[in-house]
Amino acid sequence: MTATATDKRARLVEIVKQRSFQEGPEMKLASGKTSTFYFNMKPTMLDPEGAALIAELMLDAIAADNADLVGGLEMGAVPIASAIAAVSHVQNRPVGAFFVRKQAKEHGTQSLVEGLVRGDTMKDKRVVIVEDVTTTGGSALKAAKALEAEGANIVRVLTIVDRLDGAADAFRHAGLKFVPILTLSDFRS
């Protein structure tokens, strides 16, 4: 029997609670804000079951987008995009992966966007930006700006966990469709 999307989401919440979620003293977030709720998604994204669930749920979420590529700003998007690419191959609905560097390399190809084969570009590619945790949307917006400058068509921003702290409004203002797999509400008792 195959698990439903609801079953997969419920299991992912369990894994995140066990491996990646903590509540306690205030911590500084990547956005610069502070919170008593903290998600370090690396332990979930790098767990075999966690990675598979994230990839399956995200693939299902973008099924109608006809995306050519998934990726986002390093480092959070790298394990997500890699897992999605691998699972998409297994499920025979291939979607390639890429990532955007925070700044271009000073050696080699000096690329800002990594993952494309030589001679290929982002021009006219249908792209889904993925990230692990979204607070204000700053990381995804930075990736979107770099990708749009390369000619990409951003069809969606997709996150594992939306902290419900302004990202949805920021993406709407930027004209980007935003969908979270989970939200902070899934972790509050």
Give a yes or no: residue 42 inside a domain: no
Q: In this predicted model, what pLDDT tens digit does every residue of 95-149 receive, in sequence order? A: 999 999 876 556 555 577 888 888 899 999 999 999 999 999 999 999 999 999 9
* pLDDT given at position 107: 53
For residue 63, the domain's CATH number is 3.40.50.2020
* pLDDT given at position 62: 96
Give a yes or no: residue 158 inside a domain: yes
Give a yes or no: residue 16 inside a domain: no
CB 73 within 8 A of CB 145: no
Distance CA 127, CA 82 (A): 14
Run of H or E residues at 36: strand 34-39
Which pLDDT band, with edges at 50, 70 and 90, does 31 fall under?
Answer: confident
- Distances in Å between the Cα of 63 and the Cα atoms of 40, 68, 161 are 27, 11, 19
Give a yes or no: residue 129 inside a domain: yes
Q: Among 81-90, 104-113, 128-137, 164-173, which stretch is predicted with the lowest mean pLDDT?
A: 104-113
Greater confidence (31 vs 44) lies with 44
Q: Domains in the chain: how many in total?
A: 1
Give a yes or no: residue 153 inside a domain: yes
Give a yes or no: residue 83 inside a domain: yes
Query: The domain containing residue 161 runs over which residues?
Result: 51-186
| Beta pairing class for 178-183 and 153-162 | parallel
At residue 168, does pLDDT exceed 80? yes
At residue 43, does pLDDT exceed 90? yes
Nearest to 79 by CA among 36, 126, 40, 21: 40
Q: Among 22-36, 105-119, 136-150, 169-183, which stretch is predicted with the lowest mean pLDDT?
A: 105-119
Distance CA 57, CA 43 (A): 18
At residue 175, does pLDDT exceed 80? yes
Give a yes or no: residue 38 inside a domain: no
